[in-house]
Amino acid sequence: MIKILVTGAGGGVGQGIIKSLKLIKDLPIKIIVADMSEKAVGLYAADTAYLVSACNSPDYFESLAKIFIQEKVDYYFPGTDIELKFCAQNKQEILQRFGVHIVISSISTIEIADDKYKTYEFLKQYGFEHPKTAWLKDAGNGDVPMSFPLIVKPAVGCRSIGVYKLQNAIELGEHKRNPVGLVVQECIGGDDDEYTCTIVKVGTKLSPVLALKRILRSGDTYRAEPIRHEVIEDYVTRVASILDIDGGCNFQLRLDASGIPKIFEINSRYSGTTPFCTQLGFNPVEFYLKHRLNINYEPAIDYSSVVLRYWAEAVVKKKQLSSLSILRQIQPEVEPQFSLFRSN
């Protein structure tokens, strides 16, 4: 039995990893899930659910250690951004003390991916195509040859929060009144030229790239179409081959007017589109586990389909929430749930 811990059960990344684990039919897997809130819905899709301290709490390591010891965990997939640096910094200690392999990239890769300016510096350093990028405070002084429209965004941010498209110098001047932590980038292509791309790395082994043309809602992908694109696939593969990645990595890019892909964001973790990939025939979690176990796995991507995300609900008995809140550990028992496409 392979025992796998997934954290962040209240968010899309954690839930996507759980879905992908449940769709692996030929490996014996125990799914152990943790979150800081008993109302995180993903907890009730697990074999065993735990409450843990907040990641920024001094008790976080200890709350995880109890799970590692009690469950004899083999793999730990972090499901929230706030955990990434913690996991990268503690990866070796946790492996040595508990025998748990955290599926997380190196701290240097996490730092490159976490900061848009560092992403730009990395791409430039290795000669990869990239959006022209500068700190906002430096824009418009003659040293940054960019033309409008421009994109202003936090160097460290998520879900398109604080991202603005500027059409002229007046709008640029308004944003420069408080430029701390903001970068400015050239605006590449249009909304129809944007792709989110998934690749998995296990040691030096790289998976195929699945490029999805996407439509966003509040920063999250809610419609996606898989696209064959050799130029994008080659570009992402070359970038991923240099980064010190362990597990899934997500690259967001646009094609410029000449059809050249340029990465504007890296998420060095399994992404919110992991279940999209899985249901299209490329399970990024399965690729990782099977290649770690020396089991052959070849994706069979269905390019004839699209993914349309929708809202769903889970009904959970109050006594389950109460038990988890008090005991901080339960074996969830949830009745079959209705979906739009199947009545259980």
pLDDT tens-place string over residues 205-239: 999 999 999 887 777 788 999 999 999 999 999 99
Share of the chain above pLDDT 70, in %: 97
Neighbouring C-beta atoms of residue 261, cutoff 10 Å:
26
Question: At which residue do the structure tokens 């992403």 appear?
Answer: 119
Rounded CA separation 46/320 (Å): 13
Whether residue 14 contacts residue 7, with contact meaning beta carbons closer than 8 Å, is answered with yes
Residue bearing the bigger pLDDT, 157 or 206: 206
Residues in the chain: 344
CA-to-CA dists, residue 243 to 232, 261, 273, angstroms: 17, 18, 21
Beta-carbon count within 10 A of 313 CB: 8
Structure-token pair, residue 211: 């490029």
Rg over CA atoms, the chain:
21
Q: What pLDDT, on the 0 to 100 scale, is given for residue 40? A: 97
Contact 76, 5 (CB under 8 A): yes
What angle is formed at CA 198 by the lines to CA 223 and CA 183, rounded to 5 degrees? 85
pLDDT band of residue 343 (cuts 50, 70, 90) is low
What's the pLDDT score for residue 146? Answer: 73
Pairing between β-strand 329-330 and β-strand 48-51 as defined by DSSP bridges? antiparallel
pLDDT at 318: 96
Mean pLDDT of 150-165: 82
Helix (H, G, I), strand (E, B) or coil at 255: strand
* Whether the predicted pLDDT of 189 surpasses 60: yes
Lowest mean pLDDT among 44-58, 61-75, 140-154: 140-154
- Round to whole Å and give the CA distance between 118 and 121: 5
Backbone φ and ψ for 169, nearest 5 degrees, come out as -65, -30
Distance CA 204, CA 171 (A): 45
Quickly state the pLDDT bin for 344 (edges 50, 70, 90): low
pLDDT at position 145 is 59
Spatial CA neighbour of 12 closest among 215, 166, 221, 190: 221
- Specify the amino acid at residue 63: S
Average pLDDT in the 63-86 region?
Answer: 97
pLDDT at site 201: 98
Q: What are the CA-CA distances from residue 28 to residues 4, 21, 32, 202, 212 (Å)?
A: 11, 10, 13, 20, 30
User: In the prediction, which pLDDT does 265 show?
Assistant: 95
Mean pLDDT of 103-114: 97
Closest CA to 43 of 90, 68, 84, 79: 79
Read off the pLDDT band of 253 (50, 70, 90): very high
Provide mean pLDDT across the span 74-97.
97
Whether the pLDDT of residue 157 is over 80: the answer is no
Which carries the bigger pLDDT value, residue 217 or residue 16? 16
Q: What is the pLDDT of residue 111?
A: 97
Residue 144 has pLDDT above 60, yes or no: no
On the question of pLDDT at 143 being above 60, the answer is no
Where on the phi/psi map is residue 127: left (φ > 0), alpha (ψ -120 to 50), or beta? left
Tell me the average pLDDT across 37-43.
97
Asked whether residue 90 carries a pLDDT value surpassing 60, the answer given is yes
Quickly state the pLDDT bin for 148 (edges 50, 70, 90): confident
